[in-house]
Structure 1
Amino acid sequence: MRTPGSDAAADKDAEPFVEVDPTGRYGRYGDLLGAGAVKKVYRGFDQEEGIEVAWNQVRLRCFLEDPAMLDRLYAEVRLLRSLRHDNIIALYKVWTDEKAGTLNFITEICTSGNLRDYRNRHRHVSLKALKKWARQILIGLDYLHSHDPCVIHRDLNCSNIFINGNVGQLKIGDLGLATIVGKSHSAHSILGTPEFMAPELYEENYTEQVDIYSFGLCVLELVTLETPYNECDSVAKIYRKVTAGLRPATMAKVRDPDVRAFIERCLGAPRARPSAAELLKDPFFHGLDNDDNINSGAPQAYP
């Protein structure tokens, strides 16, 4: 039996929402999960389903004089709403708060954060586990690239891939730089993270194969625990090495010849690069069971 004042005491002890969405379903907590140049991501809660979510918030007044950026933000939201896949971050709701001047959208949350931070926290991981992660990224890319119309991520790197560490499930996120292309599968603008950008991106004429190049560098980072081209101290030096076809210095640290050959396939000339679907059939993944997409790896350490 509740005593008088017990409800008030319970409310006082409850973690308070900083704000709620117009329907009252989603609440935002004050703690920040991440922040980028464009948006901040807070921990949120879906009161209808009883699950934690990510509350993404963009202050629109920061971009009132940059209509191209605003268009890109709304494009991300429209894009996310059209995508449904186990290896792609799902969008649940979106709305604009005119009074606060914010664009808000609720997405699913990955309990263990991004793959870069997760890998750095867990430095002893089996090659089998790394292969499972790599395969999930490819499955997500294959979905994007075979989507009608084709979707090119253009900014794939380990900080834009998220993980539920308890089950080892990966999800590609941060599709803010993604572009939808027609039947020609070609795009023409320079966007991305310099260390992970394929050489043809700088030439402003490329296809979804730029994501395969970035994927190869993600695998390299997962194996070596170092960001590609960390030997370069400026974007200009990265540009010169990439456009000259010079590999990151960390390639020398890849001891396993099969791993090295797999990465090299991903970093080849655009027309020589396999598609995500072709890479999924690569002998590199032989020996993994179908249910190994989600389960964790064997105990032996790698690298």
Structure 2
Amino acid sequence: MDFELFEEVDPTGRYGRYSDKLGVGAVKKVYRAFDQQEGIEVAWNQVFLNRFTDDNAMLQRLNSEVQLLKTLENDNIIKLFSAWIDVDRTALNFITEACTSGNLRDYRKKHRRISTKALKKWSRQILRGLEYLHLHEPCIIHRDLNCSNVFINNNTGEVKIGDFGLAAAMEKEHVAHSILGTPEFMAPELYDENYTEKVDIYAFGMCVLELVTREIPYSECDCVAKIYKKVTSGVKPQAMNKVKDMGIKGFIEKCLAPVSERPSATELLQDSFFDGLDDDDDENYGTSLYIAPLEICDLSYFLVHNFHVF
């Protein structure tokens, strides 16, 4: 047999899922899949909801992620194409675009030598995604930005932000109050439960630090409590000492500054750090396929009637 068999197919027959995984998280598994209509590979995200029958917050979070993703349209944000509930298997499935080389953390570990230009190109694309989120109406805070949630297409260098399970849409005051995120990347004000979209800028600075050093910030700490103590005391991660380029180090420090001094994504995009990069360095990736999304499901009805939430 000279072709791969699908493990399952979506209700329309358009998308087929293969057996091999692109990634596994705490909540969902991501499989390689194929869009038979467009002839391209996509990512099939799958969550078995029975695991969360007693976790209303998680069910709400899953629904929020799908509803949020379907409103976003930006070159540096992972696109959502379709979503549905498999009632028989009690599984939430949603189809997103696939990035050929996985997340930026693993990609950076694999490729030890990168140029400053490549680092700047990746950084600028992440910032463009953040700018889009932060200027969105309403403002969207990712709240869990880290290198494992940023994905890359290796043949183009295109970088995209994904994993919006902890993202929040803010009202006009742009203030949130829940402690969520990955401790090593959480801004000090996050622990005070009173923060704005500037927490994403802090996390972005930690992403740049990781990309430079290939080391997760605060890896010298062996527990979350020690990370918390250092972050809230203003102690920078030891990895900062490994950054020898003063231009890069200064840029990271701007991102990690106290919230009152921390620049916005728009301001950082205008920083001299990016001088020398052509505007088309990471804007033109050749012709891309436009995929008109299928109707995206709202999970609220299903969750209300099956899990007694909302």
Per the TM superposition, whether the score is higher than 0.5 is yes
* Mapping 1:24-39, distance limit 5 Å: 24-39=13-28
What displacement does 1:246 show? 0.3
Give the AA of the match of 1:117. D
1:65 aligns with 2:54: yes
What displacement does 1:295 show? 7.9
Give the AA of the match of 1:110. C
Which residue number in structure 2 is paired with residue 175 of structure 1? Answer: 164
2:112 to 103, 123, 135: 123
Give the AA of the match of 1:93. S
Which residue number in structure 1 is paired with residue 253 of structure 2? Answer: 264
1:207 to 185, 191, 196: 196
Which residue number in structure 2 is paired with residue 142 of structure 1? Answer: 131
- Map Cα deviations across residues 224-268 of structure 1 (whole Å, 9 max, x no partner): 111100000101100000000000000001111111111000001
- Map Cα deviations across residues 7-32 of structure 1 (whole Å, 9 max, x no partner): xxxxx432000000000000001111
Indicate if the aligned counterparts of 1:132 and 1:294 stay in contact, CA closer than 8 A. no
1:98 aligns with 2:87: yes
* SS of structure 1 residue aligned to 2:133: helix
Q: For 1:261 and 1:251, how far apart are their aligned partners in 2?
A: 10
Structure label with greater radius of gyration = 1
* Mapping 1:210-249, distance limit 5 Å: 210-249=199-238
- The unaligned stretches of length 5 or more in structure 1 are 1-11, 297-303
What TM-score comes out, normalization by structure 1 length? 0.93
Which residue number in structure 2 is paired with residue 280 of structure 1? Answer: 269
Indicate if the aligned counterparts of 1:168 and 1:294 stay in contact, CA closer than 8 A. no
- Map Cα deviations across residues 140-166 of structure 1 (whole Å, 9 max, x no partner): 000000000000000000000000010
* SS of structure 1 residue aligned to 2:93: strand
1:159 to 148, 151, 156: 148
Which aligned runs of 4 or more in structure 1 are off by greater than 3 angstroms? none
Which residue number in structure 2 is paired with residue 111 of structure 1? Answer: 100
- Map Cα deviations across residues 79-130 of structure 1 (whole Å, 9 max, x no partner): 0000000000000000001111000000000001100111111111000110
Indicate if the aligned counterparts of 1:167 and 1:295 stay in contact, CA closer than 8 A. no
Q: For 1:100 and 1:219, how far apart are their aligned partners in 2?
A: 40
Q: For 1:194 and 1:68, how far apart are their aligned partners in 2?
A: 20
Q: For 1:129 and 1:24, how far apart are their aligned partners in 2?
A: 39
Q: For 1:294 and 1:223, how far apart are their aligned partners in 2?
A: 22
Cα RMSD, aligned residues only: 1.0
What displacement does 1:76 show? 0.1
Q: For 2:283 and 2:226, how far apart are their aligned partners in 1?
A: 38
Indicate if the aligned counterparts of 1:33 and 1:41 stay in contact, CA closer than 8 A. yes
* SS of structure 2 residue aligned to 1:273: coil
What displacement does 1:291 show? 1.0
Give the AA of the match of 2:114. V
Give the AA of the match of 1:154. R
Q: For 1:210 and 1:150, how far apart are their aligned partners in 2?
A: 13
Q: For 1:229 and 1:118, how far apart are their aligned partners in 2?
A: 20
- The unaligned stretches of length 5 or more in structure 2 are 286-310
Task: State the percentage of identical aligned residues.
Answer: 68
Q: For 1:123 and 1:179, how far apart are their aligned partners in 2?
A: 34
Q: For 1:55 and 1:228, how far apart are their aligned partners in 2?
A: 30
